[in-house]
Structure 1
Amino acid sequence: MSGPTTSTTRTQEHRRLGVFAVAFLIVAASAPLTVIAGGVTSSFAVTGVAGIPFGYVLLAVVLGVFAIGYAAMSRFVTNAGAFYSYIAQGAGRPLGVGSSVLALIAYNAMQIGIYGMFGFQISSFLESKTGWASPWWLWVAICIVIVGIMGVNRVDLSAKVLGVLVAAEFVVVIVFDVIAFAQPAEGVTAAPLTPATLFVPGVGAVLAFGIAAFMGFESAAIYGEESKDPKRTIPRATFLAVCVIGVFYAISSWALSLAIGPDKITGGGITAEEAGPPLFFNFVAEHLGVLWVDIMSILFITSLFASLVSFHNAVARYAFSLGREGVLPAVIGTVRVRSGAPWAGSIMQTVIAAIVVIGFAIGELGWDPANGPFAVLTLFTWLTNLGAFGLVLLMVLVSIAVIGYFLRDPRDVGVVSRMVAPIIAALSLSIVWILILMNWDVLLGQVESTPTTFILPAVLLVPSIAAVFWALWLRRARPQIYRQIGHGTDEDIVSDAPHLGSHSVGV
């Protein structure tokens, strides 16, 4: 008789990920080609700000400072809940539960938003080659099924697939960078790398697009329970990812600004037809030919796919952590015995993505094509920036949690890591968050505020605040569940060990 197929326990056999594997998962979430051909082009078109390259440098520095305290705490907290667990242990369980809902919505928004760009890109590519104007949602539906299947299997398999795709992305973006620097539209200038070109009206929108490019760098902690040596793997992978992402995106966005031309960017010369990926691909077609456009188009699609898989994994692990601790239904806190993958959390994310995509597909019926591609301008822009908005707030809360955690017991951590860096990070990220909120209408491409301007932030904030009160109710009505919040299972609380528990369930 065969044993159970699912469990709440992970064993040493499930610890398969090394530093580079985790780093690949992080960089895959940011998706290099997606950021340059999708995020940066959309940012230039929406904001008209030429200083986006300096924005990446600034954000890399801020996130590097944030990572100092984050990495210090990761030495003592190994939990698939990552941000949620850190906040619960450092700033209190109620705030931890609120942050868990914030994280679930933010990561879901980011992942589902990328589906919009994915469907649009495949549809556009096929139409250019065959003349078939296929609906974007058809390809999204197929992709949701594939990503869902990968999500319930071994995470190191996903890491290997993503590693190959990410390596190919880096190669083609570097090729683009070389050509852009060699043949700029208006000459080579270092102006986009100066503060003066960034700190102009619309800077908040630039930072929102920019932070979205980094979204995923913090996901190293999510894989702590599947890493070979969490105390070393997680900090090293985090710093490696921040450095690679920051430097690479600053240089590549600078190259893109030269390819477009700073005057065209700031002068509003980008047309509706050019906005988004066409800014990138038109330059490639002109200077490298159609073959390179095709190669890069395919890799852009695989880049989006890699990002979708990575964010799907992140959402599934957050859900698993909450289910394991009783905040969500217990079945969500189970993993497959053979792979260690959180199968129920994966299915939950798949279902949520399908429902939201169906809603947007129905919403497209009243859309005027003259306004641009619906999937990109609504599903992608709205939801990815909503995800970035939530991520920044989460990092503010984590910085505060690091301070609180080490105030109770400094352990062997220096004052810079446990106090100075988190304070600087909390203040800096709070400023970024406020700027994003103040520029929300710019992100949505609105001339003036509409109900949507307020509804989208509320989608994140209202459920998160409600979850804080839910946790307070749990403290009174279900103290045993409340005790486990952010700490894993009962056994973890007692032993302070990184394992997940010992009981199994069959299906």
Structure 2
Amino acid sequence: MLTSSTGNTGNPRRAGTPGGPGEISTFKGQERALRAGRIGTPGLLLSVLAASAPLMVVGGVMVTTYQVMGIVGQPLLFVILGVVMALFSVGYAEMSRHVHNAGAFYAYIARGLGGTAGAGASFVALAAYSALQFGIYGIFGFEVSGLLDRHLGVTVAWWVPALLGVLVVGVLGALKIDLNAKVLGVLLAIEVILIVVADIAFASRPGPQGLSLHAFDPATLGGAGLGTALCFAVAAFVGFEQAPVYAEETSRPQTVVARVMFLAVGFVAVFFALSSWLIGVATGPDHVVATAGKEGPNLIFALTGARLGATFADILHVFFVTGIFASMLSFHNVVARYAFAMGREGLLPAALGRTARSSGAPALGSLLQSVISFVVVAVFALTDRMPAGDPTTPVLRLFTWGGNVGALGVILLMATASVAVIAFFVRRGAGRAQAGRLLAAGLAALGLLTVLVYAVKDFGVLVSAEGSALSWVLPGVIGLAAVAGLLHGRVLRARRPQTHARIGLGNEAFQLEKAASVPSSSSLREES
């Protein structure tokens, strides 16, 4: 029989009370616990959807995909990937009922494929989500500097607001998640409403080809940029898989996490497929790539301005920026929790595995993420060619590169996690009982590995103007993270076998350690 690894089995106290079943605690003192019962279904759904930042995807990811990859069939990609993500979620959601750990991906992989594989996955997760976070700072800085110039006549380099964003997000990340979820929820609701209004405008005033369904023709997926377009589309989905990261902080992780994942996947697939199709409708499918190349990051605002007026375009622009900020905050929280989980289990310095007494947030993990983000943005700022260079450099370099490197890592993690789900249940004798879910996990693994191969093969499309070396250096970041993590896992297995054995156990690992450090009653009697 499979049991949840909360470490509270058999405790009759009320959920949500200290030490009760709802309190998923990692005792080396209360500072080693993420506070339970702080997030319900609405709060968690808002948090994971905010990571996908609908306006950022529509105005940033979709436009860049049309502009750089030249794939007219982008709406069809969202439909295809929606099916793959739904298949992935079947096994992943079931796994979330049995393993509650802020390390989600790497914890699942460790429980299914062993501690060494889990160590490798933890480093990949940290690198992937950090890369996504870095990329978002690029488009945030570009958009804020553009707004300041357009409306206030103030000229600042993109990296100034980007670095300020790093500092502000770092402060908010150290606060309790309840406050952040409320802010994210308000911003998300406004974003969705604005996109729906824009979509209606595009449908009511289509381009020269009318309400054409040409974008859903499989023939539109041809071209050298398919792999990177798939990768960028996966980046648009990123967020739903973060739900298990917050499992320790939900009131009912066995049901809330799975429910949120399926709701998020369904919303993202339908909403983004529809919106990307209507962008093509607004320009005409035959003209969307050329128009995106001409307008660049301004495409969505030019299309809405022509139909709904300059005021609406300005409002859209403002909430485009706030949506980007919300996504930055969401990714920051996830990276901080991965660092917390890794510190808690000995994969990173133990100090990272402590939470702030006042808020219950992983404060040191938050600080680490802020410092690294600051350094990365500063490096890109120092190598920027501004003001003589292309003003969209932070979008075409930091945002696009970071987004695709991060998505590549997430694809690898999803594929590996799907295999781990199968191994986890089969090894526990539940293969037959979970046959349907395991079949879905297997199909998801095949689909994700196919996407991964295409993405790596076509990565050069992103950097063709920068030199061919980057076509393997950038995806090599994920490969290097995986190798470093696997080697670290091997070292732990040889030198610290007890630590290695507890990789992926999360709170249970610390309860085992606590039990081992307390002499048994029989030994006490013998000593006396």
List per-residue Cα deviations over 1:21-62 (Å, max 9, x = no partner): 111111100000000011101111112221000100111110
Looking at structure 2, the residues matched to 389 and 306 of structure 1 have their Cα atoms a distance apart, in angstroms, of 22
CA 1:108–1:440: 2 relative to 1, 3 Å: same
CA 1:243–1:413: 2 relative to 1, 3 Å: farther
Looking at structure 2, the residues matched to 475 and 85 of structure 1 have their Cα atoms a distance apart, in angstroms, of 16
Match of 1:484 among 488, 502, 518: 502
Looking at structure 2, the residues matched to 368 and 244 of structure 1 have their Cα atoms a distance apart, in angstroms, of 42
List per-residue Cα deviations over 1:250-306 (Å, max 9, x = no partner): 10111111112211135x45444x112x11011111111111111101100000001
Q: Which runs of 5+ in 2 are unaligned?
A: 1-27, 519-528
Question: Is 2:20 the partner of 1:9?
Answer: no
Tell me the equivalent position of 2:146.
Answer: 124
Instruction: Read off the aligned partner of 2:401 and give its amino acid letter.
Output: W
Instruction: Read off the aligned partner of 1:333 and give its amino acid letter.
Output: G
1:118–1:304 CA contact under 8 A, matched in 2? yes
CA 1:64–1:496: 2 relative to 1, 3 Å: farther
List per-residue Cα deviations over 1:382-433 (Å, max 9, x = no partner): 1111101110001010001001100111449843444201110110000000
Tell me the equivalent position of 2:434.
Answer: 415
How many residues are paired up?
489
- Higher mean Cα deviation, 190-199 or 254-263? 190-199
* Equivalent residue runs for 1:233-382 within 5 Å: 233-266=256-289, 268-272=290-294, 274-276=295-297, 278-365=298-385, 368-369=388-389, 371-382=390-401
* Equivalent residue runs for 1:364-443 within 5 Å: 364-365=384-385, 368-369=388-389, 371-411=390-430, 414-443=433-462
Match of 1:91 among 109, 113, 134: 113
Tell me the equivalent position of 1:228.
Answer: 251
1:319–1:345 CA contact under 8 A, matched in 2? yes
- Higher mean Cα deviation, 394-403 or 281-290? 281-290
Looking at structure 2, the residues matched to 434 and 340 of structure 1 have their Cα atoms a distance apart, in angstroms, of 40
SS of residue in 2 equivalent to 1:486: coil
Match of 2:177 among 155, 158, 162: 155
Give the superposition deviation at 1:227: 0.6
- Higher mean Cα deviation, 88-97 or 128-137? 128-137
CA 1:496–1:206: 2 relative to 1, 3 Å: farther
CA 1:417–1:322: 2 relative to 1, 3 Å: farther
Give the superposition deviation at 1:366: 6.9
SS of residue in 2 equivalent to 1:364: coil
2:135–2:403 CA contact under 8 A, matched in 1? yes
1:91–1:401 CA contact under 8 A, matched in 2? yes
1:27–1:216 CA contact under 8 A, matched in 2? yes
TM-score for both structures, normalised by structure 2: 0.89
1:10–1:340 CA contact under 8 A, matched in 2? yes
Instruction: Read off the aligned partner of 2:282 and give its amino acid letter.
Output: A
SS of residue in 2 equivalent to 1:476: helix
Give the superposition deviation at 1:126: 1.3
List per-residue Cα deviations over 1:221-254 (Å, max 9, x = no partner): 0000001100000000000000001100010111
- Higher mean Cα deviation, 241-250 or 128-137? 128-137
List per-residue Cα deviations over 1:134-167 (Å, max 9, x = no partner): 1111111211111111111111111111000000
Give the superposition deviation at 1:461: 0.8
Structure exhibiting the larger radius of gyration computed from Cα positions: 2
- Higher mean Cα deviation, 459-468 or 170-179? 459-468
Instruction: Read off the aligned partner of 2:326 and give its amino acid letter.
Output: A
Tell me the equivalent position of 1:74.
Answer: 96
SS of residue in 1 equivalent to 2:71: coil
List per-residue Cα deviations over 1:50-78 (Å, max 9, x = no partner): 10001001111100000000011111000
CA 1:75–1:270: 2 relative to 1, 3 Å: closer
1:5–1:337 CA contact under 8 A, matched in 2? no
Give the superposition deviation at 1:199: 4.2
Looking at structure 2, the residues matched to 496 and 177 of structure 1 have their Cα atoms a distance apart, in angstroms, of 56
Question: Is 2:155 the partner of 1:136?
Answer: no
Instruction: Read off the aligned partner of 1:454 and give its amino acid letter.
Output: W
Superposed structure 1 runs of 4+ greater than 6 Å apart: none
1:441–1:448 CA contact under 8 A, matched in 2? no
- Higher mean Cα deviation, 296-305 or 199-208? 199-208
Looking at structure 2, the residues matched to 417 and 160 of structure 1 have their Cα atoms a distance apart, in angstroms, of 37
Give the superposition deviation at 1:10: 3.7
Tell me the equivalent position of 1:219.
Answer: 242
Looking at structure 1, the residues matched to 165 and 72 of structure 2 have their Cα atoms a distance apart, in angstroms, of 34
Question: Is 2:52 the partner of 1:30?
Answer: yes
Give the superposition deviation at 1:322: 0.4
CA 1:383–1:258: 2 relative to 1, 3 Å: same
